[in-house]
Amino acid sequence: MIKSGKNIDYASRMLKDDGIVVIPTETVYGLGGNAININSINKIYSLKKRPKNDPLICHTDSLDKILKHVNKIPETAYKLAEKFWPGPMTIIFEKKNIIPNLTTSNLNTVAFRIPKKKITLELFKSLNFPVAAPSANIFGYISPTSIEHVHKNFSNGIDYILDGGNCKLGIESTILGLKKNKILIYRLGSLILNDIKKIGDIELFNNEENYPGSFKTHYSPRKKLYIGDIKSLCKSYQHKKIGILCFDKKYEYVDKKKQIVLSDKSCLNEASRNLYSSLYKLDSMKNIEIIISSLLPNDFIGTTINDRLKKSAE
């Protein structure tokens, strides 16, 4: 069993010693290692079985530390940082050579985030290097929002799990780039577009083929997930053992024990927090062969939830 606890000093020593530490954040748990150390980065890629053309996000606790690793912080990035950091936002910068090409899949840019999680920021304060931390799951599987999920993915190779309880937001960060006068949205995430628009004009990046690390399937349970109208999907797959991921109420077509409600208050934030943990539960239920869900209201965080549901179902 991988060692876990709230010992920041121990986690810090492990990271300084090229070790791998799972870190809690407000979005999902990350598989952390020294972002400027090739040995640590190689360990992250091989543990996660992640393709090397999928660059890692670097995490730290201050703009000063980011400045040591990037060529410049543009004016708009300062504005975004002031409003949304610490928080679920990742910004792409031009990188300095101190960031190894292995960390960024040979791109001349690097992604940085300052997460909002007290224990993790304390840990970062003790380090003089950023922590590369992709989600702490095997590549392509559902991202972890609790340490139980981390244990479902890994049984060894990790030096320590820093326990921060359940993740408050439950979906990954929003990834932004800065282009002339526009804020380019590379990946939808927990920071919603309505809020980003308050800082500047946004443009959705949709050239999927050239986007590093944008894979069609992602965040997927092992069981096949179908998205659409629940009633007709239940009819089409009536010969299968069906589980339903419901937004705010259970349906009459299937045994209620095989259904999970994301938010009985129809609250999208609650649905977002519960999305991955509900998928983990449905995926591990023995009496279910396939999972059925419908898209949620496509507003606010609902847009991000729908993006993840579609990618899980590909």
Q: Could you list the residues that contact ligand AMP (CB under 6 A)?
A: 54-55, 57, 92, 104, 107, 109-111, 134-135, 172, 175, 186-187, 212-214
Our finding on whether 90 is near Mg ion (CB under 5 A) is no
Residues 296, 271: contact at Cβ < 8 Å?
Answer: yes
Least Å distance, CB 175 to ligand AMP, is 5
Task: Tell the burial category of 138 from Cβ atoms under 10 Å away from its Cβ (0-12, 13-18, 19+).
Answer: middle
Least distance (Å) from ligand AMP to the CB of residue 237? 31
Give the binding range for Mg ion (CB under 5 A) out of 10-18, 116-124, 133-141, 163-171.
133-141
**CA 27 to chain CA mean position, Å:** 6
Residue 304 interacts with Mg ion (CB under 5 A): yes or no: no
- State the pairing for strand pair 174-179/89-94: parallel
CB 193 within 8 Å of CB 215 = no
Cβ of residue 183: shortest distance to ligand AMP, in angstroms? 14
Taking the least distance from each CB to Mg ion, the nearer of 135 and 153 is 135
Minimum CB distance to ligand AMP, residue 212 (Å) = 5
- Which of the choices Mg ion, ligand AMP, none does residue 41 contact, using the CB cut-off of 5 to 8 A by kind? none
Identify the residue among 12, 27, 60, 135 touching Mg ion (CB under 5 A). Answer: 135
Interaction partner, residue 151 (ligand AMP, Mg ion, none; CB < 5-8 Å by kind): none
Query: What pairing do the DSSP bridges indicate for beta strands 131-132 and 201-204?
Result: unpaired
* Complex with ligand AMP: residue 70 or 313, whichever CB lies closer: 70
CB of 140 to ligand AMP, least distance (A): 10
Nearer to ligand AMP (CB atom), residue 65 or residue 69: 69
State in angstroms the smallest separation of the CB of 189 from ligand AMP.
8
- Taking a C-beta distance cutoff of 8 angstroms, is the pair 158, 166 a contact? no
Total of chain residues touching Mg ion, rule CB under 5 A: 1
Specify the residue, 39 or 53, whose C-beta has the smaller distance to ligand AMP. 53
Q: Which residue is nearest to ligand AMP (CB)?
A: 213
Please check whether residue 69 is in contact with residue 112, taking contact to mean a CB–CB distance below 8 angstroms.
yes
Query: How near is the Cβ of 125 to ligand AMP at its closest, in Å?
Result: 22
Name the residue nearer to ligand AMP (CB basis): 14 or 136: 136
Nearer to Mg ion, 164 or 243 (CB): 164
CB of residue 235 to ligand AMP, shortest distance in Å:
36
CB atoms within 10 A of CB 175: 23
Instruction: Name the residue nearer to ligand AMP (CB basis): 218 or 292.
Output: 218
Nearer Cβ to Mg ion (135/278): 135
Per CB under 5 A, residues contacting Mg ion are 135
